[in-house]
């Protein structure tokens, strides 16, 4: 987030808080104004006239700039319209995914019947081919040509993103 704290005026802050339904300290504080229609996150225009997610702006105001270069404002309550500062914390995408898994909201936890590997009718590779890919010293491009898949698919296999359930003995 590229936001100069000096660009947020008292008038901006007064306007910001006028759009918040402040409730009890443990409750969500819903944003009453505009929000992103695709994902429901509250948004606000401050200082530079650039729209910013309310949760990011509030964290910036309350805690200062984040430590990471690509911060996310994460919600303990999982409510994208909540701006209760007690429900917000800085994190990165890995923190967000861990939070998602811990709360049982990732795809496998929500739908444990997801079919993976060779049982998935959309797979283009066999278990033996995946074993060969994981052990191979060929380039990702060469492996992609050999098995008629993209080099990105090969990269995802080699980095344990796809076919991670398929272990290869050393």
Express each pLDDT in 77-134 by its tens digit: 989 899 999 999 999 888 888 888 788 776 655 555 555 666 666 678 888 899 999 9
**Cα angle at 67 between 14 and 72, to 5 degrees?**
65
CA distance 116 to 39: 28
Q: Which residues contact 33 (CB under 8 A, 6 or more apart)?
A: 19, 42, 44
Q: With a cut of 70, say whether residue 17 has pLDDT above it.
A: yes
Question: Residue 4's pLDDT band (boundaries 50, 70, 90)?
Answer: low
- Hey, how many other C-beta atoms are within 10 angstroms of the C-beta on 55? 27
CA distance 32 to 20: 6
- Position 110 scores a pLDDT of 52
Average pLDDT over residues 4-9: 68
Identity of the highest mean pLDDT range in 56-60, 100-104, 110-114, 151-155: 151-155
Q: With a cut of 60, say whether residue 9 has pLDDT above it.
A: yes
Residue-averaged pLDDT of the chain:
83
Average pLDDT over residues 13-19: 93
- Position 1 scores a pLDDT of 46
Question: Residue 31's pLDDT band (boundaries 50, 70, 90)?
Answer: very high
Q: What CATH number does domain 5-110 carry, 3.90.75, 3.30.70, 1.10.10, 1.10.357?
A: 3.90.75
Closest C-alpha to 78, from 101, 60, 107, 52: 101
Note the helical H segments in the chain. 10-18, 54-63, 93-102, 107-110, 127-135, 140-147, 151-158
For tokens 């995408």, the residue is: 93
Q: With a cut of 50, say whether residue 135 has pLDDT above it.
A: yes
Where in the chain are all domains bearing CATH 3.90.75? 5-110
């Amino acid at each position: 987030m590229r936001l100069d704290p000096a660009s947020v005026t008292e008038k901006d802050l007064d306007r910001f808080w006028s759009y918040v339904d402040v409730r009890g300290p443990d409750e969500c504080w819903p944003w009453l104004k505009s929000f992103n229609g695709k994902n429901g996150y509250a948004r606000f225009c401050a200082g530079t006239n650039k729209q910013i997610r309310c949760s990011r702006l509030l964290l910036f105001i309350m805690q200062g700039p984040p430590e990471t270069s690509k911060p996310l404002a994460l919600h303990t309550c999982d409510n994208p319209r909540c701006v209760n500062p007690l429900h917000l914390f800085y994190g990165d995408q890995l923190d967000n995914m861990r939070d998602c898994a811990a709360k049982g909201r990732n795809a496998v936890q929500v739908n444990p019947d997801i079919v993976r590997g060779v049982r998935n009718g959309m797979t283009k590779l066999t278990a033996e081919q995946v074993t060969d890919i994981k052990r191979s010293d060929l380039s990702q491009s060469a492996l992609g040509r050999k098995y008629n898949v993209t080099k990105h698919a090969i990269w995802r296999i080699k980095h344990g993103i796809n076919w991670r359930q398929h272990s290869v003995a050393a």
